Chains A and B, each alone.
Chain A
Amino acid sequence: MTTAAGQKSNAGRYVMVYVCMLAIAALQFVIAYSNITGEQMFARMLFLAVVEAALALLFFMHLSENHGLLWFVVVFTVFVLLAMQYGWTDSFRELLGAPWAT
């Protein structure tokens, strides 16, 4: 959109998303000092990071305007990230031993 009105509305939306992202980031810093377990802290911070990343992808990187590309990026990336989780969850074996080993 190249009209002056279009530019104005875009800027307003960008600032709104930016403020939301700042608020989410601030929330993460608050969680860091809250009195909860490490697992709870990890889950909450990761959830907020995913929300923040989704906002950036949809509105800053304009994926909300191209649904085909959005699905391509999300499906491709999520598949790779989920595949990597195997390695991460395997770290519990270091602490707890191999499951069903005894």
Chain B
Amino acid sequence: MSHADMTMGGHSAMMERPAFSVPAKKMAMWLFIIADTATFAGCLVAYGFLRNATPNWPRPFHSITNVAIMTFVLLTSSLTMLFAIDAARAGDKAKAFNWTLITAGAGALFALLHVREWLGLIGDGMTLLKNPWGTGLFGAAFFSITGLHLLHVTCGVIALLAVGLRYRGGRYNADDLEITGLYWHFVDLVWMFVVPLVYLLNVGH
């Protein structure tokens, strides 16, 4: 190949095509999601280990109304995120921004409900190291897993607001909104495993 070929027409032929025809930024988010899946899976496997190996594991949850509402809010926020991305793809900036704001609002509501639930448990005497129902490992496992998820939700809300505002301002495009949406759906996906394993299996009968 001549120098002219390399600098002109041949140049693009020499460039690698994006893996799986996915833009680099989106691929980076997928790799982050895979890595984060391993993080959460590690936590949940460790939790499963502790729960299985500890006789008389506490079952302190008598009412799961709050968790049910939290699940509903988070699932609904995934739907509103999809509406935001659809509107962005259709070029309707105002609608996309509004749906993004609604999604962020639902995320904030979820975080508030989460904190309220934590305060209730702390009020019952549960801390990282001890609780009135049995092994102290329960508090450590519960606060670690739900805390890590809450941290992800909080970061997601901030990211949604930041990306949404920049999208409205014209600095970001629909692809950026979609990539943030991928993260948001992932946060929702993790919650689908946290709820049954951490809450529902510990419902007191």
Interface, chain A (partner B; CB < 8 A)? 1-2, 4, 7, 10-11, 14-15, 18, 21-22, 25, 28-29, 31-33, 38, 41-42, 45-46, 48-49, 52-53, 56-57, 60-61, 66, 68-69, 72-73, 76-77, 80-81, 84-85, 87-88, 90-92, 94-95
Name the contact of A61 in the complex, choosing from B19, B52, B185, B192 (C-beta under 8 A): B185
Name the contact of A76 in the complex, choosing from B19, B34, B189, B192 (C-beta under 8 A): B34
Q: How large is the interface on B (under 10, 10 to 19, 20 to 34, 35 or more residues)?
A: 35 or more
* B94 contacts A by Cβ under 8 Å: no
B89 touches A49 (CB 8 A): no
A88 touches B49 (CB 8 A): yes
* B48 contacts A by Cβ under 8 Å: yes
- Alpha-carbon separation in the docked complex, A7 to B92 (Å): 11
B46 shortest CB reach to chain A, Å: 8
- Alpha-carbon separation in the docked complex, A74 to B22 (Å): 16
* Given A21-B75, A91-B53: A4 in contact with B201 (beta carbons within 8 A): no
The chain B residue with its CB closest to the CB of A26 is: B68
Q: Which residues of A contact B188 (CB under 8 A)?
A: 56, 60
The chain B residue with its CB closest to the CB of A33 is: B203
A14 touches B82 (CB 8 A): yes
Q: Which residues of B contact A57 (CB under 8 A)?
A: 189
A53 touches B193 (CB 8 A): yes
Q: Which residues of A contact B122 (CB under 8 A)?
A: none
Q: Which residues of A contact B185 (CB under 8 A)?
A: 56, 60-61
A73 touches B197 (CB 8 A): no
- Alpha-carbon separation in the docked complex, A4 to B162 (Å): 28
* B196 contacts A by Cβ under 8 Å: yes
A–B pairs, 8, beta carbons within 8 Å: A10-B86, A28-B195, A41-B201, A60-B188, A80-B41, A90-B49, A91-B53, A92-B52
A97 shortest CB reach to chain B, Å: 12
B78 touches A88 (CB 8 A): no
B203 touches A56 (CB 8 A): no
Q: Which residues of A contact B50 (CB under 8 A)?
A: 91
A84 touches B41 (CB 8 A): yes
B14 shortest CB reach to chain A, Å: 22
* Given A56-B189, A95-B52: A18 in contact with B20 (beta carbons within 8 A): no
Name the contact of B49 in the complex, choosing from A1, A21, A72, A87 (C-beta under 8 A): A87
B170 shortest CB reach to chain A, Å: 18
